[in-house]
Structure 1
Amino acid sequence: MYDLTGFQRDLLYTIAGQDEPHGLAIKDELEQYYEKEINHGHLYPNLDELVDKGLVEKGEADRRTNIYTLTRRGRREIEARWDWEDQYVGELLSE
């Protein structure tokens, strides 16, 4: 996960927290978090890059709607990131 941007990590976390989210649901979640509009030209190329890296699978809900799910590798990458973060902030957060 070291080679991902912060936005791409947020995409992974958002996908992990939803049941087969589609692009607009992911966009809505991130817009709430960032408190600003997420451009389609920024969202979809980043989703495609996560697919290309094997972290996310892209499927079709219908002809117009794609759904995104984490792959096993995507889940492992998130778990590894949590373990790494826990080394530095785990104790701080448990106080």
Structure 2
Amino acid sequence: MYDLTGFQRDLLYVIAGLDDPHGLAIKDELENYYEKEIHHGRLYPNLDTLVEKGLVEKSQRDRRTNEYTTTRRGSREIQARAEWEAEYIDHSS
């Protein structure tokens, strides 16, 4: 996970958290968070990178819609990142 950009990490978290993780739902969720438009030219190449790294699996729902799900490796990476962050965040309390 250390080699992902912040945007790619956010994509991974959103995919893991959505009940229906297809391209436009992911895009909408990120636009709400970033409070600005996420262009397709930014979204889909970064999704493809997550697929290439084995963190996300891409499948076709229908002819126009792709679904994205975290792989076991992606879920492990999210958990490891949360534990690493907790080492630093928990010390501030």
Q: TM-score range by the shorter chain?
A: over 0.9
RMSD value, Cα: 0.9
Partner in structure 2 of residue 87 of structure 1: 87
Instruction: Extract unaligned runs of 5+ from structure 2.
Output: none
After the TM superposition, which residues 56-75 of structure 1 pair with which residues of structure 2 at under 5 Å, given as runs?
56-75=56-75
- Following superposition, which runs of at least 4 residues in structure 1 exceed 2 angstroms of deviation? none
Asked if the contact 1:22–1:67 (Cα under 8 Å) also holds between the matched residues in 2, the reply is yes
Aligned pairs, number: 93
Stretch moving more, 33-42 or 15-24: 15-24
- Does residue 1:55 correspond to 2:55, yes or no? yes
Distance in 1 of aligned mates of 2:53 and 2:79: 17
Q: How many Å separate the matches in 1 of 2:90 and 2:53? A: 28
The aligned runs of 1:1-95 (5 Å cut-off) are 1-92=1-92, 95=93
Superposition TM-score, scaled by structure 1 size: 0.94
Which one-letter code corresponds to 1:76 in the other structure?
R
Any idea what SS the aligned residue of 1:57 has?
A: strand
Structure 2 CA distance, aligned partners of 1:16 and 1:24? 15
